[in-house]
Amino acid sequence: MSAARPTAIGIGYSKTLPCEAESAGRARQLVTDALNRWGIGELVDAGTLIVSELFTNSLDHTHDRAARVVVRRVADDRIRIGVADKSRDAPEMTKPDEDSENGRGLSVIDTIADRWGYDLHSWGKVTWAELRVCGEESEQ
């Protein structure tokens, strides 16, 4: 008989990545690894899409050399995925034309996340999205 693992609230994973397109894959891997370690692999698709959009948004709208990706367990039933950069410009959800290839990232996040937002700091901001953990965690 195996016991359910306790949830480590406040525990998380983070990694600073160069602001280049190739880093989006490493950001997705960080999210995948964290969610699988917490036994909530069913959130990998949503989580990796969120971090891709957040990281790309940072890449497209800041001139930073690096951004920090953070994945945290903020409650038993909630994880937060964030990207920190040095820009203090607030992210804005836009309504692009049908033919536009860009500008839908925050709309996508708004659709799949339980909630999203940003926190301003003296050094920049963290744009984040939260996913709700449904059901019981997997036993390992």
**What is the structure's pLDDT at 8?**
53
- pTM of the predicted protein model: 0.83
Residues of the chain with pLDDT under 70: 1-10, 94-104, 135-140
**What is the structure's pLDDT at 35?**
96
**What is the structure's pLDDT at 105?**
74
CA dihedral (109, 77, 31, 127) positive or negative: positive
**What is the structure's pLDDT at 92?**
77
